Structure 1
């Protein structure tokens, strides 16, 4: 999995007032927690956060907080309800030898049988939550739709990946091929011609 490096500065003032002061400086309040260590409260430059926030990809984040190096995954971001800028970011520590849970993008591969017959492919889930060791985490999860017929779906329970555990519920639909009006008309014409 790709990594992104971000520099942060430790902060001493917590709570609403401390967070407002940090935001006034153009920075985003953040916290890293997890493992057996104490949480670290720090702030980040808002512009440094953009490659991490405004992308469909998932990353391992290498934080440099006043010289202290931490490896983490982004767990949660709170955005301003009106102006849509990040107000707070939570990171979770990545510990060697311990599995980490992260949302990874789905990559659809193959040419569906159902689409060839006039069906329409719909993707219901763009990311799946997985758990695994950092060295086993992929940049994306391939979902092969070659054998997917009209009216059929691929569920999370149908997928298998080496060294990874899928945390998204098994009954969640990832993608499906639905019948279109054109395919329905073609099927009716074929049935009438018999």
Structure 2
């Protein structure tokens, strides 16, 4: 489960470009807290502290408790961080206010396991990752760090779909209208020409999966 993060903030009296530029010169990042049927609150946070959380690698799918923006800490989920296109420094952040057990949408990284047990890969096939992360609907108190997808038994031309992935208890895919593809095992061009064991149907399925990833 993703750890709960903490970020100190101060409320700001003025919005607008001029006020935001002044904050950034002082090493602060303008931000806003919104949602949960409450009025938005404009705040600013320390740039160094925000960057430290961003460097954890799981900031966008972690609960962030924002302190100093009210009488008690506000439970939030980061929704967006905008960066300067030249300096790559954060210039604005959006936080969604949530209740402790709210159902939230998060993008969770996929980790592929048991590659050694995939016959197609052992024969020279290549793992084609269609989705490096999957959007899940989960309880805010139980956001997973990652989900594991086993490659065991996959042959060249096989596809791994979301239905074959064991999701954490209470988690469901945000996409519900199809059994979407997570990855495929495709034959490298040399294997295709020498063995000719990839059928037209398999090639079409792999191509369709690649297009879905795009």
What TM-score do the two structures reach when normalised by structure 1?
A: 0.85
**Aligned CA distance change for structure 1 residues 65 and 127 (closer, same or farther; 3 Å):** farther
**Aligned CA distance change for structure 1 residues 149 and 65 (closer, same or farther; 3 Å):** farther
Aligned counterpart, 1:109: 113
Please state how far the C-alpha of 1:171 moved relative to its aligned partner: 5.8
Cα shift readout 1:66-112 (whole Å, capped 9, x = no counterpart):
56301111101111122211111111122133211111111111122
Q: Structure 1: 5+ residue runs without aligned partners?
A: 190-194
Q: Structure 2: 5+ residue runs without aligned partners?
A: 198-214
Q: Aligned pair 1:81/2:85, yes or no?
A: yes
Alpha-carbon separation, structure 2, partners of 1:188 and 1:37: 61
Q: Aligned pair 1:68/2:72, yes or no?
A: yes
Aligned counterpart, 1:164: 171
Aligned counterpart, 1:192: none
Aligned counterpart, 1:52: 53
Alpha-carbon separation, structure 2, partners of 1:157 and 1:56: 26
Aligned counterpart, 1:183: 191
State the Cα RMSD in Å. 2.3
Please state how far the C-alpha of 1:185 moved relative to its aligned partner: 5.7
Q: Which has the higher helix share?
A: 2
Q: Aligned pair 1:92/2:96, yes or no?
A: yes
Q: Aligned pair 1:15/2:44, yes or no?
A: no
CA contact (8 A) 2:75 2:100 kept: no
Cα shift readout 1:12-49 (whole Å, capped 9, x = no counterpart):
11011111111111111111111022111111111111
State the aligned residue count.
189
What TM-score do the two structures reach when normalised by structure 2?
A: 0.78
Alpha-carbon separation, structure 1, partners of 2:77 and 2:174: 16
CA contact (8 A) 2:111 2:147 kept: yes
**Aligned CA distance change for structure 1 residues 56 and 185 (closer, same or farther; 3 Å):** farther
Cα shift readout 1:101-144 (whole Å, capped 9, x = no counterpart):
11111111112221111111122322211112123321111111
- Secondary structure of 1:39's aligned partner: strand
Q: Aligned pair 1:173/2:170, yes or no?
A: no
